[in-house]
Amino acid sequence: MKSLKLIVGGTIAATAALSTFAMAGETVDSIKAKGYVQCGANTALAGFSAPTSEGKWEGLDIDLCHAVAAAILGDASKARFTPLTAAQRFTALQSKEVDLLARNTTWTLSRDTKVGLNFAGVNYYDGQGFMVAKASGITSATELDGATVCIEPGTTTELNLADYFRAQGMSFEPVVIENAVEAVQTFFSGRCDVYTTDASGLASYRQTAPNPDDFMVLPEIISKEPLGPAVRHGDEEFADIVRWTHIAMLEAEEKGITSANVDTFKKDSKDPGIQRLLGTTGDMGKALGVSDDWAYNIIKQVGNYGESFDRNVKAKLGLERGLNALWTDGGLMYPAPIR
Amino acid sequence: MSEPVKSRKKLSSLIYSEKARGVFAQILVTGGIAFIAWYLISNTFENLANQGIATGYSFLSLESSFGISEHMIEFTPADSYGRALMVGLLNTMKVSLLGIIFASLIGFVVGVSRMSKNWILSRIAAVYINLFRNIPVLLQLIFWYTLINNGFPSPKRALEVLPDVFLSNRGVLFPVPADHPAYFWMGVVFVIALAGVWLLRRWALARQDRTGQSFPYAWAGLALVIVSVFITYIVCGAPTEMSTPVLKGFNFKGGAKLSPEFLSLLIGLSLYTSTYIADIVRSGLQSVPKGQEEASTDLGLKPSQTLVHVVLPQASRVMIPPLTSQYLNLTKNSSLAVAVGYPDLVSLSNTTMNQTGQAIEAISIFMGVYLGLSLAISLFMNWYNKKMALVER
């Protein structure tokens, strides 16, 4: 009986400890106090968040984290990364293990409400696709009836997949493996006929195949996947900073400001919009609770959105801007005014 | 006049009473634990409310919207999270039960071989034990899974090892009798026949006590089960239709399947746990003094009777408690299924937790279930242990 009591007591304590003790102060205060931003990142998704062979993290999501660090602390290098699987990510954010989730996470209603997240914008517009072995002879997703499908658990991918096959009246057999890298390797080994995830992810994982040319991505895109950074619900101040960090990177691209020429703009520009952005006039930084040169730091140390996209997504995966182009180029990236 | 004196005496006796101090200390400790628990729980709920995270178990009735590959009960994405967790629980119980059976069988054989006078046999058993016991079980699972996925051919080039039995990286497919009500009734008769065998055994033992005449109830019981089940089969129309696996499109249709996920988990857990069981069996057999065996032989018992009636009952007293903990370990280790994609309770709870964001509830469910499973196994093994224990008269 004694051991039973111990077990029950331990269970309750462990469950409660998953959450946190009392309010640890606002996220921004804790970031300033500890001197770095702790980001939840993908374990290995080239182009978005993956460690290099030297152990340095790189990618579009990683850049966003560095930008947040630049905005709050004035130093982009003050960002640390916690690699998280899809199934771990929300618990890690809820339990304050990380300050910010920049891990190609789809913005959905239930995540924005029940799961207790706040999405601070969309830094990549994506959609779910399918990858198959060329040898299978499949050319369209409508031929997939009865297929075995490898997926990562706890993703919108998993739900879209079931929805799509139900809508098409087709059957499938899921093979669900928690670690994305393991799941992809299982697909390459031939255990599954299909691997499915966001199209950007397919492009990224295809390159890790022993011979990428043996695999192809099917033309169908079966869902909308607006991927964006998320913070804990209830911390509006931090959500604002992340949101406007992303917008500042877009705004900089729209105005043609890059990490190379930002100093010239700061010195010479007579455009009031650029002066406000770079903090030479106005008090935009103060309104956010950071220094007035926040956007200057972001652009100088990380670059604008286009620079980040080109050196990560375009250079590593060969993907074009598409929906992720600025609105002025026919894309969906439309920064709200900084004023 | 005497009242205050009496009460003072009472108070001081309370302080000096060992029992009263004991009770006080226990109240203090229990109260402390209760306070900590209350603090943690109320804090958790406050934090969840602050972050706007949903609480409660109402999510269990919502539509799950995800697919599960292996289910012993019907499951479609339109079914609820509650049913998905039930599928996971049944999958956990399936792999644990089969794992316990295989680990025990292999462990018994290896344990006996380890004691064999045949040098090669005992060496092989020793190598087996040391090899599989000293590699972490998670790595073994991943090894078997990778081996099946990469070592077996694709479905189109599946190996037909026996007629209609196919080996491929989709698993092992084999023919099974097609659905027919006869099989249900055969199951019912089987259970009834087992009950009959139990009664027969009671009668036979009672008669032996009374008259000394032995009755071969084991053979008679076996015959009873086989004959009664066979008669049911004939009476219900003797269906012969088989469901055989046939390659259609991507995959085999028909027949029954053991998936690579299930196979690798079952093989990994069975082999790993069998090494511990082998050593338990060996220690159990060695604990029986040699004189017992010799005495039994001298009394004219056959070697098989010696093993069943003299050696095993004494050995099992030593074996049962450590066996219990190995069975518990195997059941708990089955939660590593998530690494090889087998949809067990933890894997499906993880998915549920992620889709609903309700980590605490999902974790509380699977912790409660594992606790329940483990306690059930312990209770059963404790009952069995008591039954086998030395009865001192």
Range of the domain at A201: 128-223
Last residue of a domain, one of A223, A257, A288: A223
**Cα angle: A80, vertex A83, A88; to 5 degrees:** 125
Q: Between chains, do A162 and B146 touch, taking CB under 8 Å as contact? A: no
Residue A237 and residue A308 share a domain: yes
Q: Is B207 helix (H, G, I), strand (E, B) or coil?
A: helix
What beta strand segments (E) does chain A contain? Answer: 37-42, 50-51, 57-58, 79-84, 100-106, 117-119, 124-126, 128-133, 147-151, 172-176, 194-198, 215-217, 225-232
- How far apart CA B305 and CA B284 sit, in angstroms, is 18
Q: Say which of B41, B67, B360 has its CB closest to residue A174.
A: B67
Mean pLDDT within B184-206: 89
- CB contact under 8 Å between A12 and B356, yes or no, is no
- Determine the distance in angstroms separating the CA of A107 from the nearest CA of chain B, rounded to an integer: 13
- The whole-chain average pLDDT of chain B stands at 87
Same domain, A96 and A111: yes
Contact B354 A113 (CB under 8 A): no
Query: Is A10 a member of any domain?
Result: no
Interface list for B 5-34 with A (CB within 8 A): 33
**B8 CA: distance to closest CA in chain A (Å):** 36
Q: Identify the burial level of B219 via C-beta atoms within 10 angstroms of its C-beta, where 0-12 means exposed, 13-18 middle and 19 or more buried.
A: exposed
Q: Hey, is the C-beta of B248 within 8 angstroms of any chain A C-beta? A: yes
Q: Which residue has the higher pLDDT, A302 or A18?
A: A302
| Cβ contact A174–B68 (<8 Å) | yes
Is residue A274 a part of any domain in this protein?
Answer: yes
Residues of B in contact with A94 (CB under 8 A): 51, 53, 357, 359
At A29-84, the pLDDT tens digits run 999 999 999 999 999 899 999 999 998 999 999 999 999 999 999 999 999 999 99
Report which DSSP code applies to A43: S
Select from A170, A163, A166 the least CA-distant residue to A138: A170
A310 and A235 belong to one structural domain: yes
Predicted local distance difference test score (pLDDT) of residue A19 = 41
Q: Which of A101, A191, A196 to mutate to test the interface with B (most CBs of B within 10 A)?
A: A191
Asked if the Cβ–Cβ distance from B51 to A166 is below 8 Å, we say no
pLDDT (tens digit, 9 = 90+) per residue, B41-74? 888 888 888 777 888 888 899 998 888 988 889 8
Q: Cβ separation of B353 and A154 shorter than 8 Å? A: yes
User: What is residue B129's three-state secondary structure?
Assistant: helix
Assess whether A230 and A323 both reside in one domain.
yes
Same domain flag for A305 and A316: yes
The reply to whether A195 and A81 lie within a common domain is: no
B251 vs A8, residue with greater confidence: B251
Q: Tell me if residue B194 falls in helix, strand or coil.
A: helix
User: Which residue has tokens 């242990």?
Assistant: B385
- All residues of chain A having their beta carbon less than 8 Å from the beta carbon of residue B41 are 12, 16
Is residue A150, in this structure, part of any structural domain at all?
A: yes
Clarify whether residues A318 and A236 are in a common domain: yes
Query: In terms of domains, do A242 and A257 share one?
Result: yes
Give per-residue pLDDT as tens, B352-370: 888 888 888 898 998 999 9
Can you give the pLDDT at residue A276?
93
Q: Tell if the CB–CB gap between B357 and A111 is shorter than 8 Å.
A: yes
pLDDT band for position B183 (50/70/90)?
A: confident
Contacts of B376 (CB under 8 A, 6+ apart): none
CB proximity B88 to A under 8 Å: no
pLDDT, tens digit (0-9, with 9 covering 90-100), for A244-290: 999 999 999 999 999 999 999 999 999 999 999 999 998 999 999 99
A20, part of any domain: no
Residue ranges of the domains in chain B? Answer: 2-51, 81-156+258-388
Q: How many CB atoms are closer than 10 A to CB A56?
A: 10
pLDDT tens per residue, range B152-173: 888 888 888 888 888 888 888 8
Residue A144 domain flag: yes
Which residues does chain B have within 8 Å of residue A155's beta carbon, measured at their own beta carbons?
A: 354
Which CATH number does the domain housing residue A148 bear? Answer: 3.40.190.10
Closest CA in chain B for residue A17: B40
Asked if residue A149 is part of any domain, the answer here is yes
For A142, half-sphere exposure in the C-beta direction (CA atoms, 13 angstrom radius) is 1
Q: For B98-116, how does the pLDDT look when each residue is reduced to its tens digit (9 = 90+)? A: 999 999 999 999 998 998 8
Domain boundary among A175, A207, A223: A223
Q: How confident is the model at residue A21 (pLDDT cuts 50, 70, 90)?
A: very low
Q: What is the ipTM of this complex?
A: 0.75
Q: What is the pLDDT of residues B245-296, one digit of tens each?
A: 888 777 777 778 899 999 999 999 999 999 999 999 999 989 999 899 899 9
Residue A4 lies in a domain: no
**Contact across the interface for A154 and B54, Cβ inside 8 Å:** no
Q: In chain A, how many domains are there?
A: 2
Identify whether A12 is part of a domain: no
The confidence score (pLDDT) of residue A24 equals 35
Q: Does A206 lie in the same domain as A60? A: no
**Under CATH, which number does the domain B81-156+258-388 receive?**
1.10.3720.10
Q: Do A233 and B52 touch (CB under 8 A)?
A: yes
| 3-state SS class at A326 | strand
Quote the pLDDT of residue B250.
74
CA A23, A27, A31, A33 torsion-angle sign? negative
Rounded to whole angstroms, the Cα distance separating A122 from A336 reads 13
